Amino acid sequence: MKKRYRSEIKYYISTGNATIIKTKLKALAAIDKHAAKEGSYFIRSLYFDDYFNMAYQEKEMGIVDRKKYRIRIYNCSDKVINLERKKKYGDYIYKESAKITRAQFEDILNENYDFLLTSESNLLREFYYECRSNVMRPKIIVDYTRIPFIDDNGTVRITLDLNLGATVSSFDIFDKRLPTMPAIDKQTHILEVKFTEFLPSVYKSALLGMNIQKVAASKYVMCREAIDFQRDRQYLMYEPSYNENQPILFKE
């Protein structure tokens, strides 16, 4: 199967502008069907890195062609557990995914990797190599709430990611009370624009005039740096990220 890279553009956006862009997008695109009735869902990812922290270092050095591994769940549930590899080349991304069970997740944490080698998934077999040869290990949990919009024209996906938080105190991704610390200012959010074929002009127009800042933001790197910054000052403040009731994020 031929790899199909997508364009990915990220912006920092304030709460006020996020409210405006959310209103615009509701008139142009559909909310992802996987979102709750409030129009959002909670994402938790456990990121991995190798012995030399190359996923972190390559991003810091500005390497164009790079990759990273993570295990991702939604709403702290074990119904869907995906091991993912995200490859990035400049502003283009390619994501691969393989489903695993909760028992297999526990095996990975306990460094029992044999099931990966016998898997039918190429991704899982390659992850086995990474764990055995490059000492790929879990590094940090990254949490945020996502408001997802989709449009089949140009296979557009635009998301607002709020309340970015991180923790290294535990790698139990299913713990709903797991405390995290903010990785970004509470009034700053991340707007991601992804498309495969083209970005329709209506979305370009929606972004025009908005006071938003294009960034090469990596949530993994941002969270690691936030943890390291606070740890150096011996000032770590944690609170749970997940809210089971998914409160309304912006007032209409």
pLDDT tens per residue across span 83-127: 999 999 988 999 999 999 999 999 999 999 999 999 999 999 999
CA torsion 131-112-219-40 (nearest 10°) is 140
Other C-beta atoms within 10 Å of 118: how many? Answer: 9
Cβ–Cβ under 8 Å, residues 168 and 183 = no
Q: Using 50, 70 and 90 to split pLDDT, how confident is the model at 130?
A: very high
C-alpha distances out from residue 245 to 28, 75, 98, 249, Å: 27, 10, 29, 11
Q: What's the DSSP call for residue 96?
A: E
- CA dist., res. 138 & res. 201, Å (int): 41
Cβ–Cβ under 8 Å, residues 91 and 109 = no
Supply the pLDDT for residue 205: 92
Q: Give the number of residues written for the chain.
A: 252
- CA dist., res. 231 & res. 240, Å (int): 18
Residue pLDDT, tens place only, 4-21: 889 999 999 999 999 999
Residue pLDDT, tens place only, 177-206: 998 999 999 899 999 999 998 899 999 999
Domains in the chain and their CATH numbers? 6-240 (3.20.100.30)
- Summary mean pLDDT of the chain: 90
Cβ–Cβ under 8 Å, residues 223 and 142 = yes
Residue pLDDT, tens place only, 214-249: 998 899 999 999 988 776 555 555 566 777 665 445
